[in-house]
Structure 1
Amino acid sequence: MTVPGNLPQCSYLLAYHPDKGRVGFSTELGAMLRAAALADLYLKGHLADERGRAVSSSARPSGDPVLDGLLEEIAGARPRKWQHWIGKRQRPTVSAVRQQLADGGWARCEPYKMLGLFPATRVTMRDPRVRKELVSRVNGALRGAAGRVDPADAALVTIVAAGELNLVLDRRSRRAHKRRIQELSELTGPIGPALHKSIQAASASAAG
């Protein structure tokens, strides 16, 4: 059993409901995957924080098409807040990450028409143990010493908590581990707060 090597793919698998066989419609999947890509680039030294804005700090590519696409977006624009980049191109990012999971053998993707009219993709996880391993890593990060937690696992906790992914961490768990989640969020720089703000802004816009 192998686990995907980048954070967007891991985040997608965590958002997948194994019993329902899909990602929940209320899940902020696009925002979470964009935040995961930013976190991946930040942790690997491709991005830096400059007065609350994302800036390219390395010209070398990451080797991952999704991450490099985002890196090119940021490098080709003036410095913008992290929240800005989370809100951009969410749908193409979801499609690209889903295709990566299919190409890597973690998922099977089948096109179909919802209600017989609207094009959609049915996603089936090939090995449930992969997602169970990722959930275990999230839970382990909440229990272990903060200084010994893998930064990627800290980022997953941050994304799951900020994205309010109840499937992995429900409200009661987030409340019980509030201080610990904050400690892990600090390891991933500006990503957690930016994801939280992006989701709040999107909700306010939809309500308005």
Structure 2
Amino acid sequence: MERTERATDSLPARLFLLACDVEAERVKWGDELGYAVRAGVLAELTARGCLREEGRKARPVGDRRTGDPVLDGVLREIAGLPRPKSWSALVRRERRRTCLALEGQLAKSGAISVESRTLRRKRVTVHERDLPARLRAEAAATLTGSEPAGRIEPLRAALASMAALSRLCPELNWRVRYANRRRLKELTERAGPAGRGLKKALDTRRAAHNGGGGG
């Protein structure tokens, strides 16, 4: 029997939900989540055979589509660009719009409820309350585990490496990242060009912020 895909199954959705604080009813809504979600979309599209790497650029494969509105929206965006872009450039593009589209898709599916509040963060309620904790535990176990990185399924490696690189949860704090820095590098490579693109985009962002501190 064919498995029915849920809105929460895609990598970008899993990264978004991993960043949700169930008790506070909010999501770590910030630029780093946007980077992670964009990279997750690119990794998912690659895994589904809709994107490939050619000359260090991301290129659509024919006119393939996934049936997922968020994934296909980004795929159309990439296909409409006048020339191919690097993976890191695509990670940086349209981050907020992609996050909002994903949030809307999760809300429409019933996975979350979103309530806008004046002068306060949105209230984001995750209805499968243990799901964010399970995703964080999975990411932490992958990062701290001993299974050779080459045997780990690329999207599982991507969940762990992208969550760690983007600092989405306390389970992947700086001590954990430092203690497993070699492993994080291996998982980032295993995540493919989208993983490398995320690291480059975040490194560039943080270097710019650090360099601008004394202006």
Q: 2:49 is aligned with what amino acid?
A: G
Equivalent pairs: percent with the same residue? Answer: 36
Q: How does 1:1-208 map to 2 (within 5 A)?
A: 4-24=8-28, 28-77=32-81, 78-114=83-119, 121-142=122-143, 143=145, 144-205=147-208, 208=212
Q: TM-score, normalised by structure 1?
A: 0.87
Q: 1:176 is aligned with what amino acid?
A: A
User: For 1:111-168, what per-residue CA distance to the aligned partner results, in whole angstroms no more than 9, with x for missing partners?
Assistant: 22216xxxx6321111221112212321332313434423221110121122133423
User: For 1:11-59, what per-residue CA distance to the aligned partner results, in whole angstroms no more than 9, with x for missing partners?
Assistant: 1111112343212355611111111101111122111111221111242
CA distance in 1, matches of 2:62, 2:183: 31
Instruction: Please say if residues 38 and 91 of structure 2, whose CA atoms lie closer than 8 Å, have aligned partners that are also in contact.
Output: yes
Give the 3-state SS of the residue equivalent to 2:171 in structure 1: coil
Partner of residue 3, structure 2: none
CA distance in 2, matches of 1:87, 1:147: 27
Any unmatched runs of 5+ in structure 2? Answer: 1-5
CA distance in 2, matches of 1:183, 1:196: 12
CA distance in 2, matches of 1:183, 1:200: 17
Instruction: Please say if residues 30 and 93 of structure 1, whose CA atoms lie closer than 8 Å, have aligned partners that are also in contact.
Output: yes
Give the 3-state SS of the residue equivalent to 1:48 in structure 2: strand
Instruction: Please say if residues 21 and 123 of structure 1, whose CA atoms lie closer than 8 Å, have aligned partners that are also in contact.
Output: yes
CA RMSD of aligned residues (A): 2.2
Instruction: Please say if residues 4 and 10 of structure 1, whose CA atoms lie closer than 8 Å, have aligned partners that are also in contact.
Output: yes
After TM superposition, the structure 1 stretch with the greater mean CA deviation from structure 2, 90-99 or 158-167, is 158-167
Give the 3-state SS of the residue equivalent to 1:66 in structure 2: helix
CA distance in 2, matches of 1:102, 1:25: 15
CA distance in 1, matches of 2:171, 2:7: 17
Q: 1:103 is aligned with what amino acid?
A: K
Residues 196 and 145 of structure 1: CA distance in aligned 2, closer, same or farther (over 3 Å): closer
User: For 1:56-111, what per-residue CA distance to the aligned partner results, in whole angstroms no more than 9, with x for missing partners?
Assistant: 12421011111111111111221111111111111111111111211222211112
Residues 27 and 74 of structure 1: CA distance in aligned 2, closer, same or farther (over 3 Å): closer
Instruction: Please say if residues 66 and 97 of structure 1, whose CA atoms lie closer than 8 Å, have aligned partners that are also in contact.
Output: yes
CA distance in 2, matches of 1:161, 1:64: 25
Q: 2:195 is aligned with what amino acid?
A: G
Instruction: Please say if residues 112 and 125 of structure 2, whose CA atoms lie closer than 8 Å, have aligned partners that are also in contact.
Output: yes
Instruction: Please say if residues 162 and 193 of structure 1, whose CA atoms lie closer than 8 Å, have aligned partners that are also in contact.
Output: no
Number of residue pairs matched by the alignment = 203
Any unmatched runs of 5+ in structure 1? Answer: none
